[in-house]
Structure 1
Amino acid sequence: MISLHRSAVVPPFKRLLIASALALTLSACGGDGSGSDGSAGTAPAPAPTTPVVVPPPVTMPAEPTPAQLVSAQTFEPNPRTTQGSSDASTAFALPDNFMVVADDEANVLRVYPRAGGAAVLEWSYALNGPKLTKELDLEAGTRIGDTLYLTGSNSNSKDGGEAMADRSHLFAVKVAGTGATTTFDYVGKFSALDSQLVAWDAANGHGLGANRFGFAVSAAAGIAPERVDGFSIEGMTSAPGDAALWLGFRAPLTDTAARDKGLIVPLQNANALLAGTATQAAFGTPIELELGGRGIRSIDKGGDGNYLIVAGPSGASSALVDRNFALFSWNGNPQSAPIELSNDLDALRKATGGSFESVVGVPGPVTAGTEVQLLMDNGDTVWPGQSAVSKDLPPADQKFGGFVVRLGAPRVDTAGPRLRRAAPADDRVGVNRDASITLSFDKAIRLGAGNLVLRKGDGSMVETFNAGSSTARVQRNFNVLKLVPSQPLDADTAYHLTVDPTAVTDAAGHAFAGINDATTLNFVSAGAPTPLVVGDMLFVGANAEAPDAFAFVLLKAVNGGTKITFTDRDRKAGNAEFTGLTNETAFVWTADRNLPAGAIVTIQTDVTGSPIADLGFTLGAPGGLGKEETIYAFTGGSIAKLGEGTAGEITAVGDYLASITLGGTKDNTIPPQLTLAGTAFSFVVSPTNQTSAIYAGSMDRTDLGAFAARVKFAGNWNRRYKPEVGYPLVDDSLFGGKQLP
């Protein structure tokens, strides 16, 4: 058992771009028209709020970028706030260069000067108005006349946990005044948006076929929202003439098979629902939009009646993709295609790593040269001088960024997709026999008219994949194409993949060049998986703060296809194991090649989809690592409903290999065989707090017995016992550059 010693290391951080602010007078708020379709009822005015003095913002010279940048801003919370303010999620312009901003992790609306600096007013809708005391995850809003319409994401929690009851509220407030004298008057709320959307789709209320959009499956417990088949509303605007509210979906993309277009569902009777004179939502004809494989993060009506759409991936952004986020102009006609603009939003994101989710209105026409202000969700940003991500800082230290940009001209792109990464990698030896083939490109992809063919080394065909293949065999997710062979690979056999030059295209039909030889993507399959027993692996690091990750060392050489199951679910005493538990992480790691003894594997858990491994791959449910966490490793066993980003109950456990406990023990019980073998590591503190720990001794692995002894010695570990950023990842590894002995 490893005992505890405290240490603290503050890693270097990237410098945030803070540019000089440019104040703009924008009359449109939330991008929507000035007309009103009437109030939906009134309620007593909220409790008075106290204005605060705004200090002048700190500014630095702006750096030009290809994004048509005019200026950049940083926004801070109002003094004495107790609520977070890192995750700007929707915004509305006010007169005199102020704006209302919502946050997806705090049930407050704040008024900020648009030039940057501290909020001048905070209105809590947990204490006032709808009195929503649980996190709404407010993601979408629009303004019609003097009324703000706002809704939560209507989604599950990030790890798939059931949270829709807390996030499905639609409510409205009337707004008046500006700056510190802004007032909010509650109108009403409706709290069954998600369930009625699911029922409408299942009952073919749209006339396109029952379950056309797969809402029932996407919204089910256990399904993470941030994936192409998840469920999350992040955009809202008003229809032409303000006749309806348009709900813009980040996920799912449509339809249940293709998953390649953005979705808008009109809500036609919002005012009646908010007033309580109707209890059943009336949904109009859905609209599907080609956004290059992206979902809707924000949609706003311009002064000319056209729309500006911020589009982004349904899941996490990919470093392999050049344009994760993009701006589109659209005339509002369901039969017209949106037009991608040339603004390079990813160039702006590089300063802080945030995501774009808000536009503070479009004051003029949605055409090149119009200036608009974009706000960022910076919840996972580590600011200069800080050691934790922004959303985990004390409220007074949190902030988010914004940019004023000029809308660009329509983007011209004639290049086909480029292959950025393949798994198995070229020339890989020891590929697991149940491997899938994954191709990652630099942009969202489609399947064209050609074939992708898996062949043996002698050129003989094993299996053909194309647009007509079943979703069990061919799967697309934004820029990633996954090919799943129908039969396991033969043992110790050479394979290669060929791709017709018409097989993979982008949304515009531009084709990938293809692969027509036996050497560009070839590999050799593995022999039998290697059996493992206690003592064949040890944990060598784990972060309970971002980046949430852990690492383990193999003390025995393994063949490709060797599997280890990991979970941080709370193990029960006796033979109960993990019975009845479906939350938290549970996944299987598989060696994707023959790995030598001494190899160190890092797995990131707080991600979208299956956890990310730097060596090998995983399948199952991700999740964050908390302050009372034990991570278990075992072989064998089984997990129900195991899939990409999902895992049901652990129905059987094989042989335990190792464990590591962070912060506190909670109700976890450690298998006695691990304690006896010395492979159960424990880093606990009282009172319990966020804990990260990492082996910091010699990495010489020529004598693995000696190395294992050093890992088991407490004095060779560094650890942190407070909420501060976890040990950094380099090339996805806690031991970057030292993964292999």
Structure 2
Amino acid sequence: MSTTLLSTVLLAALAACGGGGNDSTPGPTTPGTTPPVTTPPVTTPPVSPPPAVAPDTFTPGAATTGGSADASTAIAQSAAFMIVADDESNLLRVYPRAGGEAVLEWSYALNGPKFAKELDLEASVKIGDTLYFAGSHSNKKDGGDAMADRGHVFAVKTTGVGAATAFQYVGQFADLERQLAAWDAANTHGLGANAFGLTASAAAGIAPERVDGFSIEGMTSNRGDTAVWLGFRAPLANTALRDKALIVPVNNLPALIAGTTTQAVFGTPLQLNLGGRGIRSIDKGTDGNYLILAGPAAGASAAVTRNFALYTWNGDPTIAPVELDNDLETLRKATGGSFETIVEVPGPVVAGTAVQLLLDNGDTVFTGTTSVAKDLPAAEQRFQGFRTVIGNPLRDAQGPALVTSTPADDRVGVNVDTQIVLQFDEGVRLGAGNITLRTANGAAVDTFNANSAATRVQVRFNTLTLTPTAPLQNNAGYFLTVDPTAVLDHQGNGYAGLSGPTALNFTAAGTPTPLAVNDLLFVGANAEAPDAFAFALLKAVNGGTRITFTDRNRKTGTGEFTGVTNEGVFVWTADRNLPAGSIVTIQTDTPASPIADKGFTIGSPAGLGKEETIYAYTGGAVAGLGDGTAGEITAVGPFLASITLGGAAGTIPAELTAAGTAIDFSVSPTNQTNALYAGALDRADLAAFAARVKNKSNWKLSYKPALGYPLTATGSLFAGE
């Protein structure tokens, strides 16, 4: 976005800057859902000064060998210069803090630790004359184990400032993740074995951007600079509720870096109430107090009014951090980035002290460009930041507002093994009251509360998921009641609740609909962001009907997908009765389970690439199927359709080829391909519609670096669908 346009956007929004956590209306509704009526939130006037109306923009320069759009952590050199890392490359660069071109570059792939693969550097701290940098220690987005690549901490010293900076490598340590997991498992902290679940969080198959994932994104030091504190984006502490941010002190990091010892000494872990958020950055002011940049473990949610927030804290774990009224959401939306780092707090951590924040703009589509910033030519890449002041304590006396529900109010055809999912406009926790599922005549079926087992009640930031103890009865009516004391925000304000048989009521589905080849056709797929595909149902289906999708490599013969555990596999379930001709879009590049605009999915996400065949089939079995996870496909049922993007088609089942439901967009040389049906969408005659879809001349194609075809506000590849 240009500076002029951004200034216009932010100037128009200044009245909103500094607002409180629930002092604006709820976010947009999740596709296909309708929020129950709730008490409207009360607007509180802004208190803190607004942020700068235009961001600082940082670009490559003559001193650099590549671009940078994914600023991930920074250390101030002076009032004029800073050292910035990029989580997509093993490079440290020096930039003017006021914006402009990088003036110096130092590669830690070619120098110092000489890391051959991407470190995914996410955290840093300066103690004395030594700069410490840490990789995220996380798995890849799809859950693939990357500890050998990302599990490092290294240190450098520098002389000079700006273009005169010289780097001197000190050393590295590469066993932190394993030792953290062992420390937790052995109850060395005294809180109980596996109190934080670090072994499970770091396991292969667990995506990092989950509340139970594993990702280090903050580093600072204690007040005496005798320990380095590791701040976790994930996991969130308190394994039952996952509602506290985690800090783990490392008391001997200099010795580990120097190689004089090989065993980390961990201090007493700290658990902080950041409104259900994790730590994205933490910095110490000149008074020894801390400023924390907090954000959700997953990506920002459209339902939440304050995804990111600033907190002040005195470092005492018995004293809760104080949320500030700085409005980061306006800036996040205007720039299209994600907050990653505090450059420094150059004074005491009090209202009015100036601070500078940087954004990761890797997925930003800047005005005048046609792809996300990280895919632009190096000379066109950029990232942004802004300077503001520390605000005042947030004035929040308003309870959470319910934004969306699944099932939606008045939904007919809800799958009988549905979970009930409530999304609020802020982070929530369970209070003292009950949530009750009732039959249409008012009889209680299930009661959920803070004492319920974690398998039945889960809170994930702003999302409350309830799992009934038994399936619903086919074609039966139900409604949900929520006591006013049952759901609270992290300041103790209560949700108004639901009462009566019409506030949130729905009807269960009949039996699932059997499907066969020619009952489904793919009508679109993107291998560039947003990674997504769409399919059309050529047969009416009842709620509860399931289809499995995978982009795993299919084997010849009877092996199917045996032994293959990489890439994505997930099960889509219709959450209502859907008529023939319905078009469903599923976004696959998500932190946890992919997201459907109709129905819901569960399983591992799938970042689509340049040689992909996506298969659809019914029945079968997937080991370890869960939110964001899936193991081996142990059995498949009848194949329905497939679509191939970019490279040579996979091993296509003969029945799909014979029926024409295997659509192939192979190209040579191989390239990431986006394909979208562009013919008439009239589905009054489904046979004629299917014939048009099978005719590839009715499709449009684009290739990397072009963006994938956009999703509408409702999450569809097709407007109006």
Give the TM-score, by structure 1 length: 0.91
Counterparts in 2 of 1:107 and 1:735: CA distance versus 1, 3 Å: closer
Check if 1:128 corresponds to 2:115.
no
**Alignment CA distance shift 1:19-1:725 (3 Å):** closer
Letter of the aligned partner of 1:178 in structure 2?
A: V
Range with bigger deviation, 235-244 or 88-97: 88-97
Q: 1:17 to 1:328 in 2, by over 3 A?
A: farther
Q: Which residue of 2 aligns with 1:53?
A: none
Matches of 1:199 and 1:694, distance apart in 2:
49
Q: Corresponding residue for 2:486?
A: 503
1:607 corresponds in structure 2 to 590
Q: Contact conserved, 2:472 with 2:508, CA < 8 A, in 1?
A: yes
The answer for the alignment partner of 2:38 in structure 1 is none
Matched, 1:639 2:625: no
Instruction: Tell me the equivalent position of 1:692.
Output: 674
User: Are the equivalent residues in 2 in contact too, given 1:249–1:297 (CA < 8 A)?
Assistant: yes
Q: Root-mean-square deviation (CA), in Å?
A: 1.5
- Deviations for 1:232-274, whole angstroms, at most 9, x for unmatched residues? 1000001111010000000010111121000100000011101
| Matched ranges for 1:433-582 at <5 A | 433-582=416-565
Q: CA deviation at 1:15?
A: 5.3
Give SS of 2:363's match.
Answer: coil
Task: Find the aligned partners of 2:203 and 2:715 in 1 and give their Cα distance.
Answer: 33
For 1:387 and 1:160, locate their aligned partners in 2 and report how far apart those are by CA, in whole Å. Answer: 29
Q: Which residue of 1 aligns with 2:194?
A: 211
Q: Secondary structure at the match of 1:254?
A: coil
Counterpart secondary structure, 1:708: helix
Q: How does 1:280-429 map to 2 (within 5 A)?
A: 280-429=263-412
The Cα shift of 1:581 comes to 1.1
1:191 to 2:174 alignment: yes
- Report what 1:242 is aligned to: 225
Q: Distance in 1 between matches of 2:470 and 2:280?
A: 39
Alpha-carbon separation, structure 1, partners of 2:528 and 2:609: 8
Give the letter aligned to residue 669 of structure 1: T
Equivalent positions of 1:80-229 (< 5 A) are 81-95=64-78, 97-229=80-212
- In the aligned structure 2, how far is the partner of 1:106 from the partner of 1:587? 31
- Once the two structures are superposed, residues 556-585 of structure 1 have per-residue CA deviations (whole angstroms, 9 ceiling, x without a partner) of 000000000000001111111111111111
Structure 1: stretches of 5+ with no match in the other structure:
1-13, 21-58
Letter in 2 for 1:422: S
| CA–CA distance in structure 2, aligned partners of residues 476 and 19 of structure 1 | 35
One-letter amino acid of the counterpart of residue 104, structure 1: D
Structure 1 residue 61: Cα displacement: 9.7
1:673 pairs with 2:655: yes
Paired amino acid for 2:695: F
255, 259, 271: which one aligns with 2:238: 255
Amino acid aligned to 1:362: V
* Identity between Structure 1 and Structure 2 (%): 66
Deviation at 1:94, TM superposition (A): 1.5
For the structure 1 residues 394 and 285, does the alpha-carbon distance in structure 2 shift closer, same or farther, using more than 3 Å as the test?
Answer: same
- Residue 83 of structure 1, CA deviation: 3.6
Q: CA deviation at 1:84?
A: 4.0
- The answer (yes or no) to whether the contact 2:13–2:330 under 8 Å persists in 1 is no
Which residue number in structure 2 is paired with residue 49 of structure 1?
Answer: none
**1:474-509 per-position Cα deviation (integer Å, ceiling 9, x unaligned):** 011100000001111000000000001110001111
- 2: CA distance between counterparts of 1:263 and 1:83? 35
Instruction: Map Cα deviations across residues 278-314 of structure 1 (whole Å, 9 max, x no partner).
Output: 0000000000011000000000001111100000001
Contact residue 522 and residue 642 of structure 2 kept, 8 A: yes
Residues 312 and 541 of structure 1: CA distance in aligned 2, closer, same or farther (over 3 Å): same
SS at match of 2:549: strand
Partners of 1:231 and 1:733 in 2: how far apart? 28
CA distance in 2, matches of 1:63, 1:144: 41
- CA distance in 2 between partners of 1:257 and 1:82 (Å): 47
What one-letter code is carried by the residue in structure 1 that aligns with 2:532?
A
Checking the alignment, whether the CA contact within 8 Å between 2:139 and 2:214 is kept in structure 1 is yes
Report deviation, 1:95.
2.6
Whether contact under 8 Å (2:597, 2:716) holds in the other structure is no
1:199 match: secondary structure: helix
**Secondary structure, aligned partner of 2:224:** helix
The 2-side partners of 1:78 and 1:358 are apart by 22
Q: Which runs of 5+ in 2 are unaligned?
A: 19-49
Q: Which residue of 1 aligns with 2:694?
A: 712
